[in-house]
Amino acid sequence: MKRMYTVIAILLAFLGVAYFKENGGIVKQAKPKVGVLTLMHHPALDQIYKGFVHGLAEEGYHNGKNITIDYQNANGDQSNLKTMANKLVNENSTVLFGITTPASQALANSTKKIPIVLGAVTNPQGAGLVKNNKRPGGNVTGISDQAPVKEQLQLVHKFMPHAKTLGIIYTSSDSSAVTEYKEFMKYAKQMHLNLKAYSISNSNDLNQVSQQMLSEVDAVIVPTDNTIAGAMQTLVKNANAVNKPVFPAVDTMVKQGGVATYSINQYKLGVEGGKLTADILKGKKKPSTTAIKYIRHGEPVLNLKQARKLGLHVPASFQREAEKYGEVIK
Amino acid sequence: MTEPMLELKNVKTIVNPGTANETTILKGINLTINDGDFITIVGTNGAGKSTLFNVIGGNLKADAGQIFHTGAEITKTTEEQRTTFLARVFQDPKLGTAPRMTVAENMLLASKRGEKRHLMPRRLKQRMAEFTKLAAQMNNGLENRMTTPTGALSGGQRQALSFLMATLKRPDILLLDEHTAALDPHTARNLLHATNQRITEDHLTALMITHHMEDALKYGNRLIVLKDGQIKADYNAAEKAQLTVDDLYAYFEM
Amino acid sequence: MNLIVSAIGQGLLWALLGLGLYLTFRILNLADMTVEGTFPLGAAVAVTAITHGFSPLAATLLAFGAGMLAGLVTGLLYTKGKIPFLLAGILTMTATYSVNLRIMGKSNISLLGQKTLFSGSFMTSLPQYFDSVVLGMIVIVIITLLLIFFLDTDYGQSFIATGDNPVMAKSLGIHTDATINVGLMISNGLVGLCGALVAQNNGYADVNMGIGTIVIALASIIIGEVAFGELTLSQRLVAVTLGSIIYRLILLAVLQLGFSANDLNLISSIVLALCMMLPQLDKLFHIRKPFFKGVQTND
């Protein structure tokens, strides 16, 4: 019992001391620190980070030479995000880079002072990260990537003009995926396409739900969805088993076994983020007055190998377009 | 004027009804218990003694027949509802007291048997003297362990406390289910002595199941023999005085 | 250092989880899995209410109520439906996942730019992380005092008896089924309340927030018991809060040693296992004097 009172006394004393000893100003560092926080690993996010590092390098910032990059990955565990965000803030990062919406939110909640650059958030204003996409007003700015949903849907139709039913699968807990799924439904209605929706709550559901979906549709669409991106092999395996194509929103997922898409190049997204970060480090730009930069232009990506495997007819115009302006996987 | 304290009319209990294992345990019990009766009950294993207590206590529903308490029918009431007038002491000393609560706290709980408990401060300190005095009556040192969790007491002390708790608030009917069976002979004798003293002094109506024929003859004003789910014999005080242990054992031959 | 203040603040906020679970786990002797669903439920209700214009205080109270409902569901499944308790809790926990999605409309709602219990002028004027310390202390002190009072009433005593010896309790006229339901309601109400406070402190609610909360709650309880030895019931309630704070400090120390936040689950499990094995280790190696676990009296 005495031990308990002692502990309480120590804690209160400590709090008292800490209260009066306000934390000192930001320590000026010779080597600015760039803190990167991401939710999980999957090819698209990893590409963004790769691009980010190269974007910084193009502007003259090299990890270990004139900056330190602290890369934190929550490995899919949301509760880690807060801990890691606090760590980056408390270690006096100069600029922070957030990849995925939850990671960016964790960073934004941890500091209102340190500049935060969003790596790829579809709708920053909607996610509560900025007051206004044109004039963010706070310490957050960045790049917004909205997949060109309309063009993607038109592409699917070009590949499969006789398809009766299309299916779209998304993770209900992923706000970017949900935003895009709603867009897909909207355009499908406009184009008079029959698009059926399937949702999963976590990667464990993917196997069963995708099998169910594949038994009811002729082709599958996948929006920008972190969970499915991390479990793409399961979807591809099931789709291949019944010989049906998958049209994902992102180039990296096409490489993993999808057929084709107009995708925002994830690597280039990262490069933009890196450049913006560099501008902030140089003092050229300030988050509050830097409008969100939209990357909407999709590059054509074609997985010729997969198309051939499925016996799918590839529209010649698209193949030429991909060979000239995008990427073809043979 | 006076209705019998407890009356059972043709009470039956059936186990596994409607299946191949269907068995009738109590096969139509008719029993009238008057105010002040101290009945000892003997019977073979499986005769239905514990089942009888469970039916009276309410944790087992009678499948046929009726039960009355001072004239009012209680057949369909629940165990909790019957605790307003009924108290039990179980054979297992662990069942009668809350192990992590102290002797005093257990007694406080028992003092409110059957009552609605409200969000009012429990006022244990005010009753400590009263409880200590009562505990001393059991003559086994309970009064010195008032603030000890009952889990730390010996089996004999726990059982003595269980008995004390059952009679703290006067019950109309007291059920004693072989309550000394799990104790060593010396402790058992002490508890039985205290039991008899309390029942006779306070004129409690009590039923006591026992496996010891000597005790069945020695205590109480009435003796019932239960066999195969039926009352085989019901001896009043005079008849009981004439019985010997061998007479009782005769019932268990076969 | 700032980080220690943060750990204390988090420990105070999360202590509500431990207090809630203490009622069911230690006093009623029930392993309540509902908690992993109630926590995000409280967060979902509070955050949705706030984004729909409710005051933070009203939203937080709503979360408490929602938690109580979840506890009642588990209670009814167990007492009336006769479903084994562990399963009843798991069923409710699983169901709340979908309920939360319905309530929030999406998987994650941000509170950036919204009024919360932490956004008032007083809170923001405090040094960093002191907002969670101040609010945490106020809430914990009030709740702990209320619980101590509750357990000291006649009803509270019947509550303890229900968990300690249900057969005896029934024979004394205590309606154990009803008592268990009330216990689950209070316990899960507190957990929902905790979810609401943590969500407002974190700045968002997420359907997956509940994962791992049972371990955090258990850690608070077990560390509190192990660290402080023989205590009365009231003191044990305080020990739960201290256990929660110590747990956060342990995690902080682990992170400072260089472990990644990804290792936290493993570290938590190891710490908990060691704490729980202490009696056994003591027997083998005579480390510390043995301690008494459970509920003890107030006199």
| C79 or C269, higher pLDDT | C79
- The complex's ipTM works out to 0.88
Residue B5: CA count within 13 A, CB half-sphere? 19
Is there a domain that residue B13 lies in?
yes
Length of chain C: 299
Each residue's pLDDT tens digit, A203-234: 888 998 999 999 999 999 999 998 899 899 89
Contact status of B159 with chain C (Cβ, < 8 Å)? no
Output Rg (C-alpha) for chain C, integer angstroms. 19
Q: Which of A15, A129, A175 is opposite residue C8, by nearest beta carbon?
A: A15
Instruction: Give all domains of chain A, ordered by start, each with its CATH number.
Output: 33-146+267-295 (3.40.50.2300), 149-263+298-329 (3.40.50.2300)
Residue A29 has a pLDDT of: 59
Is there a domain that residue B226 lies in?
yes
Q: Which residues of A touch C106 (CB under 8 A)?
A: 172-173, 175, 178
Q: How many separate domains does chain B show?
A: 1
**SS3 sequence of C83-102:** CCHHHHHHHHHHHHHHHHHH
Residue B205 has a pLDDT of: 94
Find residues 72-111 of chain B whose CB sits inside 8 Å of chain C. Answer: 79-81, 83-84, 87-88, 90, 94-102, 104-105, 108-110
Q: Which of B90, B109, B120 is opposite residue C172, by nearest beta carbon?
A: B109
Is there a domain that residue B16 lies in?
yes
State how far residue B159 is from chain C, nearest Cα, in angstroms. 12
Whether A30 has a pLDDT exceeding 70, the answer reads no
Average pLDDT along chain A: 89
Query: Is the pair A, B in contact (3+ CB pairs within 8 Å)?
Result: no
pTM, full prediction: 0.80
Each residue's pLDDT tens digit, C4-56: 888 899 999 999 999 999 999 999 999 999 999 999 999 999 999 999 999 99
Contact across the interface for C297 and B83, Cβ inside 8 Å: no
Instruction: Return the DSSP state at A23.
Output: P
Written as one string, the DSSP assignment of C50-92 is HHTT--HHHHHHHHHHHHHHHHHHHHHHHHTT---HHHHHHHH
Q: At what angle do helices C176-202 and C130-151 cross, to 10 degrees?
A: 170
A79, A123, A228: which to substitute to probe chain C, counting the most C Cβ within 10 Å?
A79
Residue B77 has a pLDDT of: 92
Is there a domain that residue B150 lies in?
yes
Q: Which residues of C touch B152 (CB under 8 A)?
A: none
Residue B17 CA: distances (Å) to CA of A153, B229, C13 = 65, 16, 54
Average pLDDT over residues B154-161: 92
Q: Which of C171, C174, C175 is opposite residue B88, by nearest beta carbon?
A: C171
Contact status of C160 with chain B (Cβ, < 8 Å)? yes
Instruction: Look up the domain containing B71 and give its range.
Output: 6-114+122-251
C107, C115, C198, C216: which to substitute to probe chain A, counting the most A Cβ within 10 Å?
C107
Residue B254 has a pLDDT of: 57
C29, C159, C168, C292: which to substitute to probe chain B, counting the most B Cβ within 10 Å?
C168
Q: Which residues of C touch B147 (CB under 8 A)?
A: 297, 299
Residue C160 has a pLDDT of: 95
Is there a domain that residue B105 lies in?
yes
pLDDT band at residue C169, thresholds of 50, 70 and 90?
A: very high
Query: Is the pair A, C in contact (3+ CB pairs within 8 Å)?
Result: yes
Strands A166-171 and A195-200: parallel
A81, A83, A104: which to substitute to probe chain C, counting the most C Cβ within 10 Å?
A83
**Inter-residue contact C133 to A15 (CB < 8 Å):** yes
Is there a domain that residue B217 lies in?
yes
Q: Which of A77, A105, A172 is opposite residue C110, by nearest beta carbon?
A: A105
Residue C286 has a pLDDT of: 63
Each residue's pLDDT tens digit, B40-81: 999 988 788 989 999 999 989 999 999 999 989 999 999 999
Q: Which of C107, C112, C128 is opposite residue A172, by nearest beta carbon?
A: C107
Q: Which amino acid is residue C53, in one-letter code?
A: G
B30 C-beta neighbours (distance < 10 Å), count: 13
pLDDT band at residue C296, thresholds of 50, 70 and 90?
A: very low
CATH number for the domain harbouring residue B210: 3.40.50.300
Q: Which of B99, B105, B149 is opposite residue C157, by nearest beta carbon?
A: B105
Is there a domain that residue B1 lies in?
no
Q: Which residues of C touch A127 (CB under 8 A)?
A: 110, 112
Residues 6 or more apart in contact with residue B218 via CB below 8 angstroms = none
